[in-house]
Amino acid sequence: MKKAKVLSVGRYMPERIVTSAEVEEMAHFSKFGVKSGLCKMLTGCETRHYAAKGEYCSDIAAKAGLDAMKKAGVEPSEIDALLFCSVTHDFVEPATANVVADKLNIRNAFVFDIKNACNAFLSGVDVADSLIKTGKAETVLVVSGEVFSQWIKYDYDNKEELVTLAPVTLSLGDGGGAFLLRASDEQDRGINQTYFRTYSDSWNHNVTWGGGVIYPRDPDKMYVPGTTKGIVDKQKEIYQTICPEIKDIFGMTFADADCIIPTQVAKWLINSMAGTFAQESGFDAGEFIKKVVSVVDKYGNVGASNVPIAAYEAIQNGMVKDGSKTFCISVGVGISEGIMSVTF
């Protein structure tokens, strides 16, 4: 059976860089007597990128996709399928993937969106892997483009709401990433094994209610609420449950990997995850954390784009090389968990 090999990883970050001090000023921290620095202290985010006026999800995803295509030397006519996998999108319908394909001059592919909160990108790569393994596509472009800056609330009603919710939402940033995958006979490279599980009884955390039929025209429901405590509380339990099964599922443990590429929600969450994995794997925590990619300080939480953005960074700084065995890990509201073993 063919393997889905990652030919290249693309990325695009909007030009505008916004500091945590700036977003706290935009959210009127001083109005409520809240000292500046809370966002950085609670999430580790120092800067994030914001899209320019008129720069949309499809623009960011297309630029990330174009970067991946150029790196691999792949022409638009070679793309059999394009998947747009993001939390944010240009509009409700049609699929934003159509716009991305148009901007990339991709005319011979079937395209569609995948929605699965911050786990959308890994879900998309999993679908691309299936398309390649079943012979339905040979070359698949998986893209993500987030513009969270349009879904952030800056005008809070009281100090309690500000302190509780703002640090989570103010750490959100804009940006995009892409994986270009192609069918390959190389059995030692590409997507190896995947694990996905949804804890659907916990769906009602951090719900962005606006735009659906429940609240179709309520502008106050179009913000990311920042109610993530339930997800965070559940996360350690999820990791402790899955760790003993990793060797059976993937044929290797987290300690065997050259690099761990997790979603980028908060610095302390990344460290907590690494600590849990190290403990469950019987690995030294200090050595283990060196394998974990953390870019939340520079880019904030970029939703579904977190994994490809972090993967791109890992390739740039040499953490991921040709032949590196990696685990990509993503968590989305829902609660949706995704773990993927990839040999680059």
Higher local confidence (pLDDT), 280 or 322: 322
Question: Is there a shared CATH topology between the 3-184 domain and the 190-343 domain?
Answer: yes
Render pLDDT for 288-319 as a digit per residue (tens, 0 to 9).
888 999 999 999 999 999 999 999 999 999 99
Q: Which CATH superfamily is domain 190-343 in?
A: Thiolase/Chalcone synthase (3.40.47.10)
Give all strands (DSSP E) within the chain, no chain letters: 3-12, 16-19, 47-50, 81-85, 110-114, 139-147, 174-184, 190-198, 259-262, 325-332, 336-343
Share of the chain above pLDDT 90, in %: 70
Render pLDDT for 128-140 as a digit per residue (tens, 0 to 9).
999 999 999 999 9
So what's the pLDDT on residue 123?
98
Domain boundaries, the chain: 3-184, 190-343
Higher local confidence (pLDDT), 285 or 182: 182
Render pLDDT for 155-207 as a digit per residue (tens, 0 to 9).
988 898 888 888 889 999 999 999 999 999 999 999 999 999 998 888 888 89
Render pLDDT for 71-115 as a digit per residue (tens, 0 to 9).
999 999 999 999 999 999 999 999 999 999 999 999 999 999 999
Residues 6+ apart with CB under 8 A from 74: 7, 8, 139, 180, 182
Say if residues 81 and 140 touch (Cβ distance below 8 Å).
yes
So what's the pLDDT on residue 234?
78
Count how many residues are written for the chain.
Answer: 344
CATH code given to domain 3-184: 3.40.47.10
pLDDT at 24 over 80: yes
pLDDT at 239 over 80: no
The single-letter code of the amino acid at 206 is N
> Is residue 242 very low, low, confident or very high in pLDDT (cuts 50, 70, 90)?
confident
How far apart are alpha carbons 29 and 64 in whole angstroms?
34
